[in-house]
Amino acid sequence: MAISAKEVATLRAQTGAPMMDCKNALTESGGDFEMAVEILRKKGQKVSDKRADRDATEGSIFAMSAPDFSSGVMLELNSETDFVARNDDFQGIGQNILQVAFANNAQNADDLKAMDYGDGRTVEQHLTDAMGRIGEKIDLRRVVALNSEAVVNYIHLGARVGVLVAFEGVGNTDIEPVGKNVAMQIAAMSPVSIDSSSVPDDIKERELRIGREQARQEGKPENIIEKIAEGKLNKFFKESTLLSQDYVKDSSKSVGQYLKEINPNLKVKAFVRMQLGGN
């Protein structure tokens, strides 16, 4: 039977599939729209199965905060190529999944995949459909949510790095510009923790071990090795913990000093830095 351009356009609007795929599905189904949709979904599953072992290391970081900044969510959506990651379809899927994650305060990718996309079908089912349209593996790798007095998000140029920062003691502070500045700092300088007291013990021990080994290689006396290692650890704290780092917009002060100038009560409660393909 002849399939009209209007029918093809209607199916494309409903599924987002390419025009030729819609025409072929309608032809195969004899013009039955429900059957055509099912054909397109089966195609997506076939693509998903075929590309399951492919590496999806490109993609984008997506993030948002509540209008009142009381919460924020961030996720990593992967594709096989950067070309697809810039595709409007891929970006639209990412933004829609982000809205689902935000509405449900999603804490991990598996739970988010099982959530309703908004039309009675799951996020994972829509990802499978997208693979059929796009022809690449699309994978929701991770998601994180923060709740606090204020949570500000920042996406670095290229959407390869994203940051969520949670604050407390906000008071009357206009938190969005301050939060963006701190988030940009985190994106650029990748601190390991907020301050020295929150550095994990395994990282402290690693830095002490490196300090001892370096001192011995330099021929330092054994009785001062530990003191040298402690000094190197303190240097690590200054360079690698957020509040002690030189503020990137004004290196004459630390990030902690910058925040105290804004509001003595303002504190960073938590932060998450998410880099495409990172841990």
pLDDT at 35 (0 to 100): 84
In this predicted structure, the answer to whether residue 148 has a pLDDT above a threshold of 90 is: yes
**pTM of the entire structure?**
0.80
In this predicted structure, the answer to whether residue 41 has a pLDDT above a threshold of 80 is: no
Number of Cβ atoms within 10 Å of the Cβ of 120: 7
In this predicted structure, the answer to whether residue 19 has a pLDDT above a threshold of 90 is: no
Residues 6+ apart with CB under 8 A from 279: none
- 19/78: higher pLDDT: 78
Go through the domains of the chain in sequence order and give each one's CATH number.
Answer: 5-50 (1.10.8.10), 55-147 (3.30.479.20), 152-199+241-279 (3.30.479.20), 201-238 (1.10.286)
Phi, psi of 107 (to 5 degrees): -115, -15
In this predicted structure, the answer to whether residue 1 has a pLDDT above a threshold of 70 is: no
First to last CA, the chain: 53
236-270 residue pLDDT tens: 999 999 999 999 999 999 999 999 999 999 999 99
Q: Residues 197-209: what's their mean pLDDT? A: 95
pLDDT at 143 (0 to 100): 97
pLDDT at 225 (0 to 100): 93
Q: Residues 195-201: what's their mean pLDDT? A: 95
In this predicted structure, the answer to whether residue 67 has a pLDDT above a threshold of 80 is: yes
CA distance 90 to 96: 10
CA distance 72 to 212: 41
pLDDT at 51 (0 to 100): 67
78-129 residue pLDDT tens: 999 999 999 999 999 999 999 999 999 999 999 999 999 988 989 999 998 8
211-220 residue pLDDT tens: 999 999 999 9
In this predicted structure, the answer to whether residue 190 has a pLDDT above a threshold of 70 is: yes
Task: Find the Cα–Cα–Cα–Cα dihedral 122, 128, 133, 136, rounded to 10°.
Answer: 140
Burial grade of 169 (CB within 10 A; 0-12, 13-18, 19 or more): middle
Q: What percent of the chain shows pLDDT beyond 90?
A: 72
Q: Residues 152-179: what's their mean pLDDT? A: 96
Q: What percent of the chain shows pLDDT beyond 70?
A: 96
**Contact yes or no for 65/154 (Cβ under 8 A):** no
CA distance 203 to 187: 20
Q: Identify the band that residue 53 occupies on the pLDDT scale cut at 50, 70 and 90.
A: low
129-143 residue pLDDT tens: 888 888 888 999 999
Q: Identify the band that residue 50 occupies on the pLDDT scale cut at 50, 70 and 90.
A: low
CA distance 109 to 126: 14
In this predicted structure, the answer to whether residue 45 has a pLDDT above a threshold of 70 is: no
Q: Residues 46-59: what's their mean pLDDT? A: 72
**Contact yes or no for 251/244 (Cβ under 8 A):** no
| Strand-by-strand arrangement of the 150-155 sheet | 150-155, 161-168, 267-275
